[in-house]
């Protein structure tokens, strides 16, 4: 009776279904990340053009934070 309970059944199992699903999981994850990256960059690019110039100020810490010079610099 004990031997009968401990006996493992000899059944032919198909592994053809589980192997492709397991192999496709990394590809699906990479595909989802790539699509998310494309959508994210498209949304950020739609914000319009950036500024074409910047204002640079030179501040002297020794003079109590006095602005020494101001210059508008083109960014192109």
pLDDT at position 68 is: 84
Determine contact, residues 68/60, Cβ cutoff 8 Å. yes
**Tokens 């592994």 -> residue:** 15
Residue 28 token pair: 């699906």
pLDDT at position 16 is: 57
Which residue has better confidence, 64 or 70? 70
pLDDT, tens digit (0-9, with 9 covering 90-100), for 22-58: 777 888 889 999 988 888 877 766 666 778 889 988 8
Residue 37 token pair: 């990256």
Rounded to the nearest integer, the mean pLDDT of the chain is: 76
What percent of the chain has pLDDT above 70? Answer: 63
Report domain extents, the chain: 2-74
């Amino acid at each position: 009776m004990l031997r009968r309970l401990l006996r493992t059944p000899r059944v032919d199992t198909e592994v053809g279904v589980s192997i492709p699903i397991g192999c496709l999981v990394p590809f699906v994850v990479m595909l989802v990340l790539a699509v998310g990256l494309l959508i994210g960059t498209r949304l950020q690019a739609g914000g319009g053009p950036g500024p074409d110039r910047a204002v640079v100020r030179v501040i002297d810490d020794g003079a109590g934070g006095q602005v020494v010079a101001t210059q508008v610099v083109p960014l192109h």
